[in-house]
Amino acid sequence: MAGGKGTRLRALTNDEVPKPMVPVAEKPILQWQIECLREQGVSDIVIIVGHLGEKIQEYFRDGGSFGVNIRYVEEERPLGTAGALSMLPPMLEKENFFLIFGDVLFDIDLQRMERFHREKQAAATLFVHPNAHPFDSDLVIHDADGRVRRFDSKHNVRDYWYRNCVNAGFYLLNRRICQGIPAQTKVDLEKELLTSLIADGQPVYAYESSEYIKDVGTVERIQRAEEELGSGLVSRRSLRNRQRAIFLDRDGTVNRKKGLVYQEEQFELEECAAEAVRKINRSGYLAIVVTNQPVVARGLCGIEDVERIHRKMETLLGQEGAYLDAVRFCPHHPDKGYPEENPAYKISCHCRKPDIGMLEECAERFHIDLSRSWMVGDTTVDIQTGKNGGTHTALVLTGDAGRDGKHDAAPDVMGENLLCVVEKILERSGENG
Protein backbone atom coordinates (compact mmCIF):
# COMPACT_ATOMS: atom_id res chain seq x y z
CA MET A 1 0.00 0.00 0.00
CA ALA A 2 1.95 3.00 -1.24
CA GLY A 3 -0.67 5.62 -1.90
CA GLY A 4 -0.46 7.82 1.20
CA LYS A 5 0.51 11.50 1.17
CA GLY A 6 2.77 11.34 4.21
CA THR A 7 1.73 14.61 5.84
CA ARG A 8 3.84 13.80 8.94
CA LEU A 9 6.92 13.68 6.69
CA ARG A 10 6.29 16.92 4.84
CA ALA A 11 9.58 18.33 6.18
CA LEU A 12 11.34 15.63 4.14
CA THR A 13 9.00 15.22 1.18
CA ASN A 14 8.06 18.86 0.56
CA ASP A 15 5.07 17.24 -1.15
CA GLU A 16 7.39 16.29 -4.01
CA VAL A 17 8.32 12.78 -2.90
CA PRO A 18 5.75 10.03 -2.18
CA LYS A 19 5.94 8.78 1.41
CA PRO A 20 7.22 5.26 0.56
CA MET A 21 10.13 6.84 -1.35
CA VAL A 22 11.46 8.79 1.63
CA PRO A 23 15.05 7.63 2.14
CA VAL A 24 16.05 5.69 5.24
CA ALA A 25 19.81 5.18 5.38
CA GLU A 26 20.05 6.43 1.77
CA LYS A 27 17.50 3.94 0.46
CA PRO A 28 13.73 4.42 -0.05
CA ILE A 29 11.50 2.73 2.53
CA LEU A 30 9.80 0.78 -0.24
CA GLN A 31 13.12 -0.56 -1.48
CA TRP A 32 13.95 -1.90 1.98
CA GLN A 33 10.60 -3.69 1.95
CA ILE A 34 11.08 -5.19 -1.50
CA GLU A 35 14.58 -6.42 -0.66
CA CYS A 36 13.40 -8.09 2.55
CA LEU A 37 10.58 -9.82 0.66
CA ARG A 38 12.92 -10.93 -2.15
CA GLU A 39 15.41 -12.43 0.33
CA GLN A 40 12.63 -14.72 1.57
CA GLY A 41 11.47 -15.87 -1.82
CA VAL A 42 8.67 -13.37 -2.51
CA SER A 43 9.06 -12.36 -6.13
CA ASP A 44 5.59 -11.29 -7.29
CA ILE A 45 4.71 -7.85 -5.90
CA VAL A 46 1.74 -5.54 -6.53
CA ILE A 47 2.15 -1.90 -5.50
CA ILE A 48 -0.96 0.21 -4.98
CA VAL A 49 -0.03 3.79 -5.89
CA GLY A 50 -1.83 7.08 -5.63
CA HIS A 51 -0.32 10.45 -4.70
CA LEU A 52 2.85 10.97 -6.81
CA GLY A 53 2.65 7.31 -7.79
CA GLU A 54 4.38 7.94 -11.11
CA LYS A 55 7.63 8.53 -9.21
CA ILE A 56 7.38 5.09 -7.64
CA GLN A 57 6.76 3.53 -11.05
CA GLU A 58 9.67 5.42 -12.62
CA TYR A 59 12.04 4.18 -9.89
CA PHE A 60 11.07 0.51 -9.71
CA ARG A 61 9.58 -0.04 -13.20
CA ASP A 62 8.82 -3.76 -13.62
CA GLY A 63 11.08 -4.71 -10.70
CA GLY A 64 13.58 -6.57 -12.87
CA SER A 65 16.60 -4.64 -11.62
CA PHE A 66 15.53 -5.46 -8.04
CA GLY A 67 15.10 -9.18 -8.68
CA VAL A 68 11.29 -9.20 -8.49
CA ASN A 69 8.25 -8.82 -10.73
CA ILE A 70 6.25 -5.66 -9.96
CA ARG A 71 2.78 -4.71 -11.17
CA TYR A 72 0.85 -1.60 -10.23
CA VAL A 73 -2.68 -0.69 -9.23
CA GLU A 74 -3.47 3.01 -9.53
CA GLU A 75 -5.96 4.77 -7.28
CA GLU A 76 -7.65 7.52 -9.22
CA ARG A 77 -8.83 8.92 -5.90
CA PRO A 78 -8.03 7.97 -2.29
CA LEU A 79 -9.82 4.74 -1.34
CA GLY A 80 -8.69 4.49 2.27
CA THR A 81 -6.55 1.67 3.60
CA ALA A 82 -8.60 -1.14 2.03
CA GLY A 83 -10.72 0.20 -0.85
CA ALA A 84 -8.09 -0.57 -3.49
CA LEU A 85 -8.08 -4.26 -2.51
CA SER A 86 -11.19 -4.69 -4.65
CA MET A 87 -8.92 -4.35 -7.71
CA LEU A 88 -6.51 -7.10 -6.69
CA PRO A 89 -8.29 -10.42 -7.47
CA PRO A 90 -7.16 -10.63 -11.13
CA MET A 91 -3.56 -10.31 -9.91
CA LEU A 92 -3.75 -12.83 -7.06
CA GLU A 93 -2.79 -16.35 -8.09
CA LYS A 94 -2.36 -17.84 -4.60
CA GLU A 95 -4.88 -18.27 -1.80
CA ASN A 96 -3.16 -15.84 0.60
CA PHE A 97 -1.17 -12.65 0.20
CA PHE A 98 0.80 -10.26 2.40
CA LEU A 99 -0.51 -6.71 2.70
CA ILE A 100 2.09 -4.18 3.85
CA PHE A 101 1.72 -0.47 4.50
CA GLY A 102 4.30 1.61 2.67
CA ASP A 103 5.70 3.41 5.74
CA VAL A 104 6.77 0.28 7.65
CA LEU A 105 10.38 -0.89 8.02
CA PHE A 106 10.66 -4.55 8.96
CA ASP A 107 12.66 -7.75 8.98
CA ILE A 108 10.28 -10.64 9.67
CA ASP A 109 10.44 -14.39 9.26
CA LEU A 110 7.55 -14.65 6.80
CA GLN A 111 7.41 -18.45 6.91
CA ARG A 112 6.64 -18.43 10.65
CA MET A 113 3.80 -15.97 10.16
CA GLU A 114 2.42 -17.93 7.21
CA ARG A 115 2.57 -21.17 9.20
CA PHE A 116 0.59 -19.54 12.02
CA HIS A 117 -1.98 -18.23 9.51
CA ARG A 118 -2.50 -21.67 7.98
CA GLU A 119 -2.66 -23.48 11.34
CA LYS A 120 -5.41 -21.10 12.48
CA GLN A 121 -7.18 -21.33 9.10
CA ALA A 122 -7.44 -17.56 9.34
CA ALA A 123 -9.22 -15.25 6.96
CA ALA A 124 -6.88 -12.48 8.14
CA THR A 125 -3.79 -12.45 10.32
CA LEU A 126 -2.40 -9.25 11.79
CA PHE A 127 1.23 -8.90 12.79
CA VAL A 128 1.11 -7.43 16.31
CA HIS A 129 3.86 -6.46 18.70
CA PRO A 130 4.65 -4.38 21.76
CA ASN A 131 6.14 -0.93 21.22
CA ALA A 132 7.53 1.98 23.23
CA HIS A 133 4.43 4.16 22.78
CA PRO A 134 1.28 2.02 23.18
CA PHE A 135 -0.58 5.00 24.63
CA ASP A 136 -0.72 6.63 21.19
CA SER A 137 -1.04 3.43 19.14
CA ASP A 138 -4.02 1.36 17.99
CA LEU A 139 -4.27 -1.73 20.19
CA VAL A 140 -5.45 -5.19 19.20
CA ILE A 141 -7.56 -7.02 21.80
CA HIS A 142 -7.43 -10.80 21.39
CA ASP A 143 -8.03 -13.95 23.41
CA ALA A 144 -5.48 -16.48 24.65
CA ASP A 145 -5.63 -18.36 21.33
CA GLY A 146 -4.84 -15.17 19.40
CA ARG A 147 -8.31 -14.62 17.96
CA VAL A 148 -9.00 -10.92 17.59
CA ARG A 149 -12.07 -9.65 19.45
CA ARG A 150 -11.87 -5.91 18.84
CA PHE A 151 -9.64 -2.90 18.24
CA ASP A 152 -8.97 -0.01 20.61
CA SER A 153 -8.18 3.18 18.74
CA LYS A 154 -5.44 5.46 20.00
CA HIS A 155 -8.04 8.21 20.07
CA ASN A 156 -10.12 6.40 22.73
CA VAL A 157 -9.94 7.20 26.43
CA ARG A 158 -8.43 4.13 28.11
CA ASP A 159 -9.62 3.80 31.67
CA TYR A 160 -8.38 0.23 32.03
CA TRP A 161 -5.09 -1.70 32.18
CA TYR A 162 -4.20 -2.96 28.72
CA ARG A 163 -1.79 -5.29 26.99
CA ASN A 164 0.88 -3.62 24.90
CA CYS A 165 -0.27 -5.27 21.69
CA VAL A 166 -0.08 -2.93 18.71
CA ASN A 167 -1.23 -3.33 15.12
CA ALA A 168 1.96 -3.01 13.07
CA GLY A 169 0.47 -2.45 9.59
CA PHE A 170 1.53 -5.86 8.25
CA TYR A 171 -1.09 -8.47 7.31
CA LEU A 172 -1.60 -11.88 5.76
CA LEU A 173 -5.01 -12.05 4.06
CA ASN A 174 -7.08 -14.61 2.22
CA ARG A 175 -7.84 -13.40 -1.28
CA ARG A 176 -11.58 -14.04 -0.74
CA ILE A 177 -11.65 -10.93 1.43
CA CYS A 178 -11.05 -8.73 -1.62
CA GLN A 179 -14.18 -10.01 -3.34
CA GLY A 180 -16.44 -8.55 -0.66
CA ILE A 181 -15.14 -4.99 -1.06
CA PRO A 182 -17.29 -2.71 -3.27
CA ALA A 183 -15.40 -1.32 -6.26
CA GLN A 184 -14.15 2.27 -6.09
CA THR A 185 -15.39 2.65 -2.52
CA LYS A 186 -13.37 4.19 0.31
CA VAL A 187 -12.90 1.53 2.99
CA ASP A 188 -10.90 1.55 6.23
CA LEU A 189 -9.06 -1.74 6.75
CA GLU A 190 -9.30 -1.90 10.54
CA LYS A 191 -12.44 0.09 11.39
CA GLU A 192 -14.62 -1.30 8.61
CA LEU A 193 -13.26 -4.39 6.83
CA LEU A 194 -11.62 -6.29 9.70
CA THR A 195 -14.22 -5.17 12.23
CA SER A 196 -16.95 -6.45 9.90
CA LEU A 197 -15.17 -9.79 9.50
CA ILE A 198 -14.94 -10.16 13.29
CA ALA A 199 -18.63 -9.30 13.70
CA ASP A 200 -19.50 -11.95 11.10
CA GLY A 201 -17.57 -14.59 13.02
CA GLN A 202 -14.74 -14.85 10.49
CA PRO A 203 -11.39 -16.06 11.90
CA VAL A 204 -9.23 -12.96 12.36
CA TYR A 205 -6.04 -13.66 14.30
CA ALA A 206 -3.18 -11.74 15.91
CA TYR A 207 0.31 -13.07 15.27
CA GLU A 208 2.48 -11.84 18.13
CA SER A 209 6.18 -11.47 17.43
CA SER A 210 9.23 -9.78 18.90
CA GLU A 211 10.72 -9.11 15.47
CA TYR A 212 11.69 -5.68 14.22
CA ILE A 213 8.91 -3.66 12.66
CA LYS A 214 8.62 0.10 12.90
CA ASP A 215 6.25 2.73 11.57
CA VAL A 216 8.71 5.25 10.12
CA GLY A 217 6.07 7.81 9.36
CA THR A 218 7.77 10.62 11.32
CA VAL A 219 11.17 12.28 11.03
CA GLU A 220 12.11 11.16 14.55
CA ARG A 221 11.28 7.51 13.83
CA ILE A 222 13.27 7.57 10.60
CA GLN A 223 16.30 8.82 12.53
CA ARG A 224 15.88 6.06 15.09
CA ALA A 225 15.45 3.44 12.34
CA GLU A 226 18.67 4.60 10.70
CA GLU A 227 20.53 4.07 13.97
CA GLU A 228 19.03 0.59 14.33
CA LEU A 229 19.90 -0.34 10.76
CA GLY A 230 23.46 0.86 11.31
CA SER A 231 23.85 -1.20 14.50
CA GLY A 232 22.54 -4.36 12.84
CA LEU A 233 19.59 -4.54 15.26
CA VAL A 234 16.99 -4.74 12.48
CA SER A 235 18.28 -7.95 10.93
CA ARG A 236 19.30 -9.50 14.28
CA ARG A 237 15.73 -9.36 15.57
CA SER A 238 14.40 -11.49 12.71
CA LEU A 239 13.39 -14.93 13.99
CA ARG A 240 15.40 -16.41 11.16
CA ASN A 241 18.34 -15.69 13.49
CA ARG A 242 18.98 -17.01 17.01
CA GLN A 243 17.89 -14.50 19.65
CA ARG A 244 19.26 -13.49 23.05
CA ALA A 245 16.97 -12.80 25.97
CA ILE A 246 17.13 -11.30 29.44
CA PHE A 247 14.59 -13.29 31.44
CA LEU A 248 13.21 -11.30 34.37
CA ASP A 249 11.61 -12.54 37.54
CA ARG A 250 8.58 -10.43 38.49
CA ASP A 251 8.01 -9.93 42.25
CA GLY A 252 11.05 -8.34 43.85
CA THR A 253 12.73 -7.71 40.50
CA VAL A 254 10.36 -5.77 38.25
CA ASN A 255 7.87 -4.82 40.97
CA ARG A 256 8.11 -4.28 44.70
CA LYS A 257 7.67 -7.41 46.78
CA LYS A 258 4.97 -6.98 49.39
CA GLY A 259 4.32 -10.54 50.42
CA LEU A 260 2.26 -12.40 47.85
CA VAL A 261 1.06 -10.00 45.15
CA TYR A 262 -2.37 -11.21 44.01
CA GLN A 263 -4.36 -7.97 43.63
CA GLU A 264 -3.71 -5.26 41.05
CA GLU A 265 -3.69 -2.62 43.82
CA GLN A 266 -0.61 -4.31 45.32
CA PHE A 267 1.44 -3.98 42.15
CA GLU A 268 4.03 -1.19 42.03
CA LEU A 269 7.06 -1.05 39.76
CA GLU A 270 10.46 -1.12 41.41
CA GLU A 271 12.31 2.15 41.13
CA CYS A 272 14.30 2.30 37.88
CA ALA A 273 12.60 -0.85 36.54
CA ALA A 274 11.16 0.98 33.52
CA GLU A 275 14.54 2.50 32.71
CA ALA A 276 16.14 -0.93 32.94
CA VAL A 277 13.59 -2.45 30.56
CA ARG A 278 14.07 0.47 28.14
CA LYS A 279 17.77 -0.31 28.06
CA ILE A 280 17.01 -3.94 27.25
CA ASN A 281 14.60 -2.83 24.48
CA ARG A 282 17.33 -0.74 22.85
CA SER A 283 19.87 -3.55 23.02
CA GLY A 284 19.95 -6.79 21.07
CA TYR A 285 18.17 -8.67 23.87
CA LEU A 286 14.51 -9.61 24.32
CA ALA A 287 12.88 -8.64 27.63
CA ILE A 288 10.77 -11.55 28.93
CA VAL A 289 9.15 -11.93 32.36
CA VAL A 290 9.02 -15.50 33.74
CA THR A 291 7.37 -15.74 37.13
CA ASN A 292 5.99 -18.32 39.56
CA GLN A 293 2.50 -17.32 40.69
CA PRO A 294 1.42 -19.93 43.25
CA VAL A 295 -1.31 -17.52 44.37
CA VAL A 296 -3.55 -19.26 41.82
CA ALA A 297 -2.94 -22.71 43.29
CA ARG A 298 -3.40 -21.37 46.81
CA GLY A 299 -6.80 -20.00 45.84
CA LEU A 300 -5.96 -16.37 46.56
CA CYS A 301 -6.89 -15.33 43.01
CA GLY A 302 -7.68 -16.70 39.58
CA ILE A 303 -5.83 -16.75 36.25
CA GLU A 304 -7.70 -13.62 35.13
CA ASP A 305 -6.49 -11.74 38.24
CA VAL A 306 -2.86 -12.56 37.42
CA GLU A 307 -3.40 -11.51 33.82
CA ARG A 308 -4.97 -8.22 35.03
CA ILE A 309 -1.84 -7.55 37.11
CA HIS A 310 0.28 -8.24 34.05
CA ARG A 311 -1.80 -5.85 31.97
CA LYS A 312 -1.14 -3.22 34.65
CA MET A 313 2.57 -4.01 34.45
CA GLU A 314 2.55 -3.57 30.66
CA THR A 315 0.53 -0.35 30.90
CA LEU A 316 2.83 1.21 33.49
CA LEU A 317 5.97 0.23 31.56
CA GLY A 318 4.45 1.51 28.31
CA GLN A 319 3.70 4.87 29.92
CA GLU A 320 7.45 5.19 30.48
CA GLY A 321 8.47 4.08 26.98
CA ALA A 322 9.35 0.48 27.90
CA TYR A 323 7.87 -2.84 26.85
CA LEU A 324 8.11 -6.58 27.45
CA ASP A 325 8.47 -8.95 24.53
CA ALA A 326 6.58 -11.64 26.44
CA VAL A 327 5.20 -12.56 29.87
CA ARG A 328 5.01 -16.15 31.08
CA PHE A 329 3.80 -17.40 34.47
CA CYS A 330 3.38 -20.70 36.30
CA PRO A 331 0.15 -20.92 38.36
CA HIS A 332 1.02 -24.22 40.04
CA HIS A 333 2.20 -25.20 43.50
CA PRO A 334 2.87 -28.84 44.43
CA ASP A 335 2.36 -28.53 48.20
CA LYS A 336 -1.15 -29.24 49.44
CA GLY A 337 -2.82 -28.14 52.68
CA TYR A 338 -3.68 -24.47 52.17
CA PRO A 339 -7.24 -23.62 53.33
CA GLU A 340 -8.46 -22.04 50.06
CA GLU A 341 -6.30 -24.03 47.65
CA ASN A 342 -7.40 -24.79 44.08
CA PRO A 343 -6.88 -28.54 43.56
CA ALA A 344 -6.62 -28.17 39.76
CA TYR A 345 -3.35 -26.29 40.17
CA LYS A 346 -1.92 -28.30 43.06
CA ILE A 347 0.37 -30.33 40.85
CA SER A 348 4.04 -30.84 40.10
CA CYS A 349 4.88 -29.29 36.76
CA HIS A 350 7.72 -28.52 34.39
CA CYS A 351 7.03 -24.79 34.30
CA ARG A 352 7.55 -23.89 37.97
CA LYS A 353 10.99 -22.40 38.62
CA PRO A 354 13.65 -23.70 39.22
CA ASP A 355 12.42 -26.08 36.54
CA ILE A 356 12.88 -24.62 33.08
CA GLY A 357 9.61 -25.16 31.23
CA MET A 358 8.99 -21.44 30.78
CA LEU A 359 12.51 -20.87 29.46
CA GLU A 360 12.21 -23.79 27.06
CA GLU A 361 8.83 -22.64 25.74
CA CYS A 362 10.17 -19.13 25.12
CA ALA A 363 13.33 -20.51 23.52
CA GLU A 364 11.18 -22.46 21.05
CA ARG A 365 8.71 -19.63 20.41
CA PHE A 366 11.31 -16.89 19.94
CA HIS A 367 14.25 -18.94 18.61
CA ILE A 368 16.38 -18.06 21.66
CA ASP A 369 19.91 -19.28 22.31
CA LEU A 370 19.77 -19.88 26.08
CA SER A 371 23.56 -20.09 26.34
CA ARG A 372 23.77 -16.42 25.28
CA SER A 373 20.88 -15.31 27.49
CA TRP A 374 20.46 -14.23 31.14
CA MET A 375 18.15 -15.07 34.02
CA VAL A 376 17.67 -12.16 36.46
CA GLY A 377 15.89 -12.37 39.79
CA ASP A 378 15.93 -11.68 43.52
CA THR A 379 16.06 -15.28 44.80
CA THR A 380 18.33 -18.31 44.64
CA VAL A 381 15.41 -20.04 42.89
CA ASP A 382 15.88 -17.63 39.97
CA ILE A 383 19.62 -18.20 39.93
CA GLN A 384 19.17 -21.98 40.00
CA THR A 385 16.61 -21.69 37.18
CA GLY A 386 19.18 -19.94 35.01
CA LYS A 387 21.82 -22.54 35.80
CA ASN A 388 19.39 -25.37 35.04
CA GLY A 389 18.54 -23.72 31.72
CA GLY A 390 22.12 -22.99 30.73
CA THR A 391 21.85 -19.17 30.92
CA HIS A 392 24.06 -16.63 32.62
CA THR A 393 22.60 -15.43 35.92
CA ALA A 394 22.22 -12.14 37.78
CA LEU A 395 20.92 -11.35 41.27
CA VAL A 396 19.19 -8.09 42.19
CA LEU A 397 19.49 -6.88 45.79
CA THR A 398 15.85 -5.84 45.90
CA GLY A 399 13.01 -8.10 47.07
CA ASP A 400 14.50 -11.15 48.80
CA ALA A 401 18.01 -10.12 47.68
CA GLY A 402 19.06 -13.78 47.56
CA ARG A 403 18.14 -14.44 51.20
CA ASP A 404 15.51 -17.10 50.48
CA GLY A 405 18.08 -19.84 51.18
CA LYS A 406 16.48 -22.44 48.93
CA HIS A 407 19.49 -23.18 46.74
CA ASP A 408 23.25 -22.94 46.96
CA ALA A 409 23.55 -21.07 43.68
CA ALA A 410 25.94 -18.18 43.09
CA PRO A 411 25.09 -15.60 40.39
CA ASP A 412 27.47 -14.42 37.70
CA VAL A 413 26.51 -10.80 38.38
CA MET A 414 25.00 -8.91 41.32
CA GLY A 415 23.60 -5.40 41.49
CA GLU A 416 21.69 -3.00 43.73
CA ASN A 417 18.60 -3.08 41.50
CA LEU A 418 17.42 -4.15 38.07
CA LEU A 419 18.90 -1.12 36.33
CA CYS A 420 22.32 -1.75 37.84
CA VAL A 421 22.22 -5.42 36.80
CA VAL A 422 21.06 -4.67 33.25
CA GLU A 423 23.85 -2.13 32.80
CA LYS A 424 26.41 -4.72 33.92
CA ILE A 425 24.98 -7.30 31.50
CA LEU A 426 25.05 -4.88 28.59
CA GLU A 427 28.59 -3.78 29.45
CA ARG A 428 29.66 -7.43 29.26
CA SER A 429 27.95 -7.66 25.86
CA GLY A 430 29.43 -4.40 24.61
CA GLU A 431 25.95 -2.93 24.12
CA ASN A 432 25.62 -0.41 26.92
CA GLY A 433 25.37 3.10 25.63
Q: Are 207 and 253 contained in the same domain? A: no
Residue 261: CATH number of its domain: 3.40.50.1000
- Pick 430 or 110 by higher pLDDT: 110
Choosing from 107, 251, 355, 378, which is the catalytic residue? 251
Please report which confidence band the pLDDT of residue 8 belongs to, taking 50, 70 and 90 as the band edges. low
232 assigned to some structural domain: no
341 assigned to some structural domain: yes
In this structure, what are the phi and psi dihedrals at residue 87, rounded to the nearest 5 degrees?
-90, 0
The whole-angstrom separation of Cα 265 and Cα 187 is 42
Domain stops at, among 221, 254, 281: 221
Residue 15: CATH number of its domain: 3.90.550.10
Which amino acid appears at position 192 of this protein?
E
The number of beta carbons lying within 10 Å of the beta carbon of residue 366 is: 19
Angle formed by the axes of helices 303-319 and 273-281, to 10°? 80
Q: Are 271 and 203 contained in the same domain? A: no
Over residues 289-342, the pLDDT tens digits come to 999 999 999 999 999 999 999 999 999 999 999 999 999 999 999 988 878 899
Q: Are 170 and 256 contained in the same domain? A: no
Which amino acid appears at position 261 of this protein?
V
235 assigned to some structural domain: no
Q: Are 30 and 158 contained in the same domain? A: yes
Q: Are 131 and 278 contained in the same domain? A: no
Please report which confidence band the pLDDT of residue 433 belongs to, taking 50, 70 and 90 as the band edges. very low
The whole-angstrom separation of Cα 278 and Cα 204 is 31
Which amino acid appears at position 321 of this protein?
G
Over residues 247-288, the pLDDT tens digits come to 999 999 999 998 999 999 999 999 999 999 999 999 989 999
Task: Answer yes or no: 305 catalytic.
Answer: no
Over residues 29-81, the pLDDT tens digits come to 999 999 999 999 999 999 999 888 999 999 999 999 999 999 999 998 889 99
Q: Are 292 and 399 contained in the same domain? A: yes
pTM: 0.93
Strands (E), 13-123: 23-24, 27-28, 44-49, 69-74, 96-100, 104-107
Half-sphere exposure of 301 toward its Cβ, with a 13 Å CA cutoff? 17
Q: Are 328 and 394 contained in the same domain? A: yes
What is the pLDDT at residue 176? 94
13 assigned to some structural domain: yes
What is the pLDDT at residue 52? 87
- Segment 83-110 mean pLDDT: 94
**Domain assignment of residue 101, given as a range:** 7-221
Mean pLDDT of the chain: 94
Task: Answer yes or no: 249 catalytic.
Answer: yes
Query: Helix and strand tally (H, E) in the chain?
Result: 13, 18
Q: Are 274 and 341 contained in the same domain? A: yes
Q: Are 23 and 108 contained in the same domain? A: yes
Q: Are 209 and 123 contained in the same domain? A: yes
Q: Are 254 and 212 contained in the same domain? A: no
Q: Are 61 and 119 contained in the same domain? A: yes
Beta bridge partners of residue 374, listed in sequence order: 246, 392
CB 197 within 8 A of CB 204: yes
* Domains in the chain, number: 2
pLDDT surpasses 50 at 112? yes
The whole-angstrom separation of Cα 433 and Cα 430 is 9
Choosing from 152, 249, 325, 400, which is the catalytic residue? 249
